[in-house]
Structure formats: C-alpha cells, structure tokens
Amino acid sequence: MTPRGTILIADDDLGIREVLQVILQPLYDVHTTANGEEALRIIQSQKIDVVTLDLKMLGLSGIQVLQEIKKIKEDIEVIIITGYGTLPNAQEAIRYGAVDFISKPFKIADIRAVVDKAFERRNYNLKIKALMQKIEDIRASRKREDGKV
C-alpha cells in the first residue's frame, strides 16, 4: 500500500481550514494552522508534502511563508488559496514557487484536482531527482574505477 501524502492547511479562517480538512482528509494526512509562523514550525518538525496557503494572514504574509518554505525544503509543493485573487498576486506567488493559485470561494472539485496535481508533480520531481542522483553516483563510481578521482 502506498503511504498517504501529508498536507498542511495554513489559513487564518477557521471555516476554510475546516472545509479543506473535510475535503482532503479522506485522501491525505492533514495538519492545520491559522498562521504562517506555526506553519513554518510544522514544516520543520513534520514530513509535509503539500501546503495550501492563504495570502493574507496575521503575522507573516503568505508570500513570506512561501519564500521560507522553499528555503527550508524546496520540494514541498505550495498551493495559494486566497480571497485576494489578483493577477499580480498570482504572478508573485508563481515567481516564488507556488504550484497553483485558487481564488476563494472555491469549488470542491477544483481543490481536489489541484491538490492531486501538486502531489503528482512532487512525486514526479522526486523521481527525477533520485534518477539524477543515480546517474551522478554511476559517474563517480566509474571515475574511481578508472583512477580519475
């Protein structure tokens, strides 16, 4: 059996956190938080694969949290879910590494599709990274065998 992925929902709106949790919990292990600082603590202490992130929260903004997530662990996929769905906000989020951008109010089907896509992308990227490492290991091994260290 394939292990379930883990998702972190970071949104200051309790209703949004609860709705997202109900939608995603049947498919994934879900953690929730109301602010960016706690989101970063969770990311540092738990195995998190995907984060849904609000742009406007008390304390750190969603963009600041996104930037910090990518510094901590670049292979975590981040989906922005916000009531401030402007083109400049979307462009900034994508520039800093968000995989997708959803405006509130959202449709359940859209959430599931985007989260599934984020997990697929993450798994694909991890496979590519592992393959690249194997290639590097083979090259290094051949150099040692040839005495070209």
What one-character-per-residue DSSP string does 68-130 give? HHHHH-TT-EEEEEES---HHHHHHHHHTTEEEEEESS--HHHHHHHHHHHHHHHHHHHHHHH
What b/e sequence results for 37-71 when a residue is b if at least 16 CB atoms lie within 10 Å of its CB, and e otherwise? bbbbebbeeeebbbbbbbbebeebebbbbbebbee
Q: Which residues of the chain have pLDDT under 70?
A: 1-3, 148-149
Which residue in the block uniquely carries the two structure tokens 């798994």?
123
Beta bridge partners of residue 31, listed in sequence order: 8
Q: What are 18-41's pLDDT values in tens digits?
A: 999 999 999 999 999 999 999 999
Q: Please give the pLDDT value at position 1.
A: 41
Q: Please give the pLDDT value at position 142.
A: 85
What's the pTM?
0.84
Beta bridge partners of residue 8, listed in sequence order: 31, 51
Q: What are 105-116's pLDDT values in tens digits?
A: 899 999 999 999
Query: Which domains are assigned to the chain?
Result: 6-145 (3.40.50.2300)
Helix, strand, coil shares of the chain, percent, nearest 5, are 55, 15, 30
What distances in angstroms separate CA 37 from CA 22, 66, 136, one per listed residue? Answer: 23, 11, 37
Phi, psi (deg, nearest 5) at residue 77: -90, 135
